[in-house]
Structure 1
Amino acid sequence: MKTVIIGGSHAAISLAAQLRHLSPEAGITIISSDAETPYQRPPLSKGYMSGKVTFDQVVLRPEDWYEPNRIELLKGARAEAVDRPDRIVTLDDGRKISYDKLVFATGARPRRLPAEIGGHLPNVFVMRDHGDAIKLMDRMKEGQKLVVIGGGYIGLEAASEAAKKGVAVTVIEAADRILKRVACAETADDIRALHQGHGVTILENAQLHEIHEKNGVADGVILADDRVIPADFIITGIGVFPDTSLAETAGLTYNNGIVVNEKLETSDPNIYAIGDCASFPYHGRMIRLESVQNANDMGIVAAHNILGEDKAYRPVPWFWSDQFELKLQIAGLNTGFDQVITRKGLREGAKSHFYFRDGTFLAADCLNDGAAYMMARKILEGGKVLTPIQVADPAFNLKSLL
């Protein structure tokens, strides 16, 4: 049986590795539009941009891993069409590749500002791939001025790396606070204070009117209240959207992602979707997760199901973000929370914010608090009951629940 994977993402390599582990004879082809060997994207805005890790260290598998494992890797190749009745993928260079099972692991693409307000200018960047990271590393020099549009994790990580290099950074956020969509006010307060302590200016309730252009490049941003913020370069961190265009053209069901069932099958049982591009059932609703955990675990589950097993994907999500001296680790998914309890960690300055809904533990944001993060993950994975009263009691030992 031959499996063709569209995309060179973390999910794609996880799937290929697991398929090969489970089935020595399976045919496996990866179609990756990237010119590079498939690599991890999250470290690009963290350790790679800071210079702590090299590109070789963020590569998912070394170049010499593919051939001995009989995994065909087509780099710089783009899938252009899917013929579902005949099970053929056509590439942009005209090559045709047949499949028994097809997997979309196409990830997500960054949202860009419209050209009419200056999003097209050459010094307006996004932070998504290796090329983006290289361009930004060249720009991040002491004395430069950067405006980051968007106060989510990607924007704040970029702001952190720039500030560490001596760049004067201003973050503008349209909502009334940073991290509005993804974190509680308590976590946002901690991260805002962290950035301000390192000289980053954060403007909330700041609506972008347009990017100011001079001599063909951006030289600042104009806010809706007519404030002008000078800039030598700009990074937009305003979210991503799932890359579903080819799946849509192929007639697959999509809704904020390629819709899959618990087995990660799309509306065509011979086609799967995994990673950032997939919308899957989670506690009675459909969600997408943009995380390494989700990509890796989906790849493993899909491999089992491609080979005829019947595995359901039921994740306990986790995420992380590195900013200045802060390691933020997140266990669980906080959607729908109605209560937050803050608990001090064992180490100096460590703390965690625990989320609850109707008294049920949902998630925890752990700030330099690795011990609490591990306990939170284990509690969620084990289905243990953790109450707000227990979290609020500094004498209560989380380990006692395990």
Structure 2
Amino acid sequence: METTDPARPYMLLDSEGAVVTPVTAFFAELQACARPRTTIRSYGMDLLRWWRFLAGWGVDWNRATRLDARDFARWMQIAPKPARVHWRHRASGEMTPTPTTRGAAGVPNAVTGRAGPGRLYSMSTRAHCETVLRSFYAFHLEEGTGPIINPFPAARERRRLPAAAGRSARQSAGGRYRPSVPHRLPRRIPDSNFNELFAALRHNRDRALLAFWVSNGARASELLTSRQRDPLPGEQLLGVIRKGTAAFQQLPSSPDAFVWLLLYQDEAWRAGVPRGGHEALWWTLRRPFRPLTYHAARAMLNRANELLGANWTLHDLRHTAAYRMARDPGLALTDLQWVLGHAHLSTTQIYLPAGRDEIVEAVRAHHERQALLAQAPAAPAAGYRADSLNDLFGVAG
């Protein structure tokens, strides 16, 4: 549950509505370690899932064993995710799951090639949940307020293959019940698809948002933190608050993004949107005017997706901007690291390899070249003249 108390932004409640004290202490530790509110909420969702699992078996959190943790890891592999009910249905008392309009669960989209969210928990969700619960019990183990043995142990010691004999054994990273998450290339939006997506937008505000996201590489939530004093069209800079460090940073953006921004601001101020340097830059389009939130921006993109039959995400725009800048030989990789706000250069390097679409096109061109080579006439053997063979077999010279 979200609160208005800055000292306790989120709380976990049990089935009787009482605050779960051990989780509150863990949240306080996260806040003291300068973790943002979004991280606390994300950890809280994993702890809520664990608390519900324990309640189903009547097990107290501080009496959970490794057998319980193992069963929980097995349960997450087969348990369906709870269906989300739209807020309009909740208001009317109709508990009908929200229908999806972006394809069946787990089926690749015809436009993007990305499979829709499956009915089961994904590998990344299971891995994140294991990490959260292992750190939760590690915290209480240090404080002396939890079980004497962490139910979520670290991975067993693994020795290298005989080919690498002679090296010492090492401890594998992660936990014993943490699944291996497959490495995936960041997905970008091809230029032709981006033009279609941009044309499907109906308002200048939405066009300005997409133009900034795809030009400065800011995260979706970061762009929404900008104030009306932050755009500097003359210098082509837009100020945002970084997600991890909460530092203010001015990002260079494309000129057309500022053109769409000025068009949007002219319409918004005519409609009565509050003006002032400290006011939010992005607002809703209907009264009562409210600052635009991440969920509202995602709904805007989903409406355009429905027209195209696609399932692009807001984060795909950041990947697209990163790919475009990484493929520019005149832009240094360290400059791209600064723009994207990566702490490590190794994170930025994932955009150096070609994207999925570029790889597919390259392989298609390879097959076309192979087909042309197969159709080409063979060179004559030594001692034969090519023009004589052409006259003999009737091949035009």
- TM-score with structure 2 length normalisation? 0.24
Question: Radius of gyration: which is bigger?
Answer: 2
**Greater share of strand residues, 1 or 2?**
1
Question: TM-score by structure 1 length?
Answer: 0.23
Relative CO higher for 1 or 2, CA cutoff 8 Å, sep ≥ 6? 1
